Structure 1
Amino acid sequence: MYTPAAFREEDLPTLHAQMVQTPLAILVSQDENGMQASHLPLLLVPGAGNLGTLKGHFAKANPQWKTFQAGAEVLVIFPGEQAYISPGYYPSKAEHGKAVPTWNYIAIHAYGQAETFDDPERLRLLLSELTAHHEQGRAQPWTLDEAPPAYIDSMLRAIVGFELPIERLEGKWKLGQNRDRTDYDSVRANLAGSGLSNEAQLAARMPPHGSQ
């Protein structure tokens, strides 16, 4: 991922926190038939390996899991907050007109080689962990035990699990850090007051100018 130094984020706890906040990642892999991509909920295990390990599963009918068998590198994209930035947001535009539209965003790319598995007990543990993660905070969290055992067994036969130890991790926080304080603060104020949820979310991720 092209990442100028001003936008580069390398703090591992910050990267992990953003990955946990991303409910759906994009997993990209390739084999002799070309590139394939799937949108998957993933579980991050921060303490597994130097950069953490990602865990998830495919539908067995999805052929992408077979691309892992060749041992090729896999890319996992965690898209974060994003918004269009109008030149009109920059007070400096009124002075010299030197402004063009851009897009500000947060994104993380994780790379590694994945191992697949279809052992029923290992799959059951994976699903329990994923479910517990996504059900947390609900008044009545759902668990696998609430479904008929035979039904869960049939679901386990229909999926393939995987673990991907992260070997390389890239973070890009493109938030206008390359602008001066006046332009930066104006962008943040315009995003916060636009009434659009994605713009307000991005504004909330913009720290005071100079503290990035």
Structure 2
Amino acid sequence: MTDPELYVPRFNVMDAGDVRPFVAAVATAQLVTVGADGLPDATFLPVLWEGDRLVGHLARANTHWRRIVDGSPALAVVTGSDTYVSPSWYATKAEHGKVVPTWNYSVVHLRGSVVVHDDPAWVRDLVTRLTGHHEQPRDEPWAVSDAPDDYVTKNLRPIVGVELVVSSVEAKAKLSQNRSDEDRVGVARGLAADGRDPSGLVEQ
């Protein structure tokens, strides 16, 4: 049996230098694990990718974290913007009509082993770093230390930390790269006419 992998045609490979910035910008993932009973679980959660670790947290009330077997395989799926692409936007439609609809999107798959951290100090440190990541661009960034310590402690109890030790990374950017320059311009115009920002949805 071969290891599972993301299907990535050669023209849809995301540039290696764009992968980490993409994950940092999206900053969320669907964490997929399989419990001891063989049944899958998936949870949407905020994440940080630091070195070879993807870290995040789940609600304590979410039974997913209790079903995770420490050290078991896991998959984190990070998805960006996506959109339907109408064949009517292609310049080549007027030439020969041999066009069909498609869907543009970007996605990163991170695989590895997963560990749960039900430890207040670990979770506090994680939340502090997560908050710093999102607040840093603000003129007056809020910090966890701005709130009363006992209030922070109380609000950390309902969450549990999770850590994915990343062993493989696969990234795909399906942005009409296989179309002509004229077709890509048409897609960008069509998206703009529909009120969509084409940035990140079609290769410029």
Same structural fold, with TM-score higher than 0.5 when normalized by the shorter chain = yes
1:28 counterpart residue number: 32
Matches for 1:57-136 after TM superposition, within 5 Å: 57-136=57-136
The letter for the 2-side match of 1:57 is H
1:201 aligns with 2:178: no
1:182 positional shift:
2.5
Q: Name 1:16's counterpart in structure 2.
A: 20
Please report how far the alpha carbon of residue 195 of structure 1 lies from its aligned counterpart in structure 2 after TM superposition: 4.6
For residues 132-189 of structure 1, give each alpha carbon's deviation from its aligned partner in whole angstroms, at most 9, with x where no partner exists. Answer: 1111122322222222222222233322112212111111111111122322332233
Runs of 4+ deviating beyond 6 Å:
none
Query: The residue matched to 1:202 in structure 2 has which SS?
Result: coil
Instruction: Using the aligned pairs only, state the percent identity.
Output: 36
5 Å matches for 1:170-189?
A: 170-189=170-189
Structure 1 residues not aligned, in runs of 5+: 208-212
- The one-letter amino acid of 1:196's match is G
Structure 2 counterpart of 1:7:
12
Q: Is the 8 A contact 2:105 2:173 kept in 1?
A: yes
Please tell me whether residue 38 in structure 1 is matched to residue 36 in structure 2.
Answer: no
| Secondary structure, counterpart of 1:55 in structure 2 | strand
Q: CA deviation at 1:71?
A: 3.1
Other structure's SS at 2:68 match: helix
Shift of 1:10: 5.2
CA distance in 2, matches of 1:53, 1:71: 13
Following superposition, the deviation at residue 70 of structure 1 comes to 4.9
In structure 1, what residue type is equivalent to 2:203? M
TM superposition score normalised by structure 2: 0.87
How many residues are paired up? 198
- The corresponding residue for 2:55 is 55
